[in-house]
Amino acid sequence: VRKRLVECHQQTAPLVSYYRKEADAGNTQYFKLDGTRKVAEVSANWRLFSVNLDGKIVKAA
């Protein structure tokens, strides 16, 4: 499992870096969620925001 997690981090790190830079440049939005919390807490945090078709953050209904 640890080896797989290392591989996962190595493979996704370039994507995380790319999207952070794009968000910093104002080209997209980047959200980081703490997935180590309980599922209900992560889900509640995720539902706080949604993105409309224009890419603007709006409060979820």
The per-residue pLDDT for 3 is 96
Angle at 55 between CA 27 and CA 20, to 5 degrees: 40
Predicted model pTM: 0.59
**Domain span at residue 12?**
1-30
The per-residue pLDDT for 32 is 81
Same-domain status, 16 and 36 = no
The per-residue pLDDT for 48 is 75
Rg (Cα) of the chain, in Å, rounded? 14
The per-residue pLDDT for 42 is 85
Q: How far apart, in whole angstroms, are the C-alpha atoms of residue 60 and residue 45?
A: 11
Same-domain status, 1 and 24 = yes
pLDDT in tens, the chain (61 residues): 999 999 999 999 999 999 999 989 988 878 788 889 999 988 887 777 666 556 666 665 5
Same-domain status, 24 and 10 = yes
Same-domain status, 23 and 41 = no
Ramachandran region of residue 51, left (φ > 0), alpha (ψ -120 to 50) or beta?
Answer: beta
Residues 55 and 28 sit within 8 Å (Cβ to Cβ): yes
Same-domain status, 24 and 42 = no
Same-domain status, 17 and 40 = no
